[in-house]
Structure 1
């Protein structure tokens, strides 16, 4: 396949993300129109519906911003982990990062006196698992990183078993966990976005700077070492950034499957294997995928809605199948 030029990718991505962002504000249980948007911003209109639509606009604006940030984080996180492990199925769920965040969050039931934000709890859980997995799996000469993936999968299964045990014993935590595990942006607030924004920005900036290093790693350990690459340092930073971006999503909405995998596969189809291009494209594609998924989750059974994480799972499996088939035909 002949990959698209940078200019075409940028223009197309900009058009899609603006269209989806606007759709995220207009569509929902109560439809808005362009006239309603004009009514919200106009100072000369005193319609009785103005305050009502202003409230809807503000809620959907905050939600769409949160969805866009999380989608970008998921896309970049999956791209980093696939570049590190050279495995096209690697993401934060496969390596136990999501499970670590979930286990840390439900563990707060044992320390009710601890007044700490859930974000830092989830970040601690995800980075602890990432550090443990890297300590055991990132040594030796395993070019396929099979040990890393197997250890991450085993830890993920064990931690989710722990999470299920805790939530079954504690009914209050079960109610919170059941809502959180489905992956929903319903109650996201602007203050929560502001709270995680510094970590998101730092993670994205560092991630964009890792593109060249991951390209070097893709040559193999021997070649990378001959080029002077600090392999262990790059691996640790990559895991830390990937887990931090995953924690951002886990805290805001819970674990969301397939979006990161879908974003990196589509991005690879669009721009090839150069991670200096692949990382920013994965961010944009991830944001677009999650925005589109969230819109569908709101309108499929309107006026009710499906959790965004559930809709992502419903759409993600066939999407990945199509992408794999397209990859085989290349």
Structure 2
């Protein structure tokens, strides 16, 4: 019997690279690795990366790398891997942001791991310029994984937990069971996705799910079941996926974040996805995995 197919958001995390964290503070090793002809470098200009063909990214030798902040991504059997952070103006017209690199992630899951690591750190460096304690300028340490001010205060990369949930109603597994998808005010009309929001201080993940659903669409949620998670460095989130069972079904959108929200049976969802009336999120997102897990198979179309 064939093994069940992994949800697509998990397929890009099946071969994570060795981050070699113990080597980041070994300056001698880092300099030696940088001088090794086997070392390869990923240049991140702002938050954009240079493609190589349709489904890969370009890894340069250290001699080809521009000046910038060096990040040790890890060590491999084929040599060390670094990223170099430069300004957005260094990007060519064909350079892509992380969303544009999703095909590369599906082609090579180890490359996906490097990309998530590099772009996540690039976003952190872009947003973190001054010490939050004294206001002093920051300098990179630990091969780009720490920032320190002249007073010695350390700043570390942050990750913001966010819940993302598929709300369902009706008898589970029945033809009448429905899921709730919303169109965000920032998106074109056909784009629909699961609901999501950030966890607030002192809040459990389950309570964050219930609060966000109530705030955005006015639906009350009871049972909340964990599904999985996905790093999403756009700019610094960890998406925590859940299925949420509705205890009410009347939809009242907030009109601030959500323009429209609709319930779909499985048959209705398949029909509107096939016709293009709605477009579902990209194939690599945990949102897509939540929808297709509930639906029971793959669905057409994406944005």
TM-score range relative to shorter protein:
under 0.3
Quick check: which one's helix share is greater?
1
Higher Cα radius of gyration? 2
The two structures have a TM-score, normalised by structure 2, of 0.27
The two structures have a TM-score, normalised by structure 1, of 0.25
Q: Which has the higher contact order (CA 8 A, sep 6+)?
A: 1
Quick check: which one's strand share is greater?
2
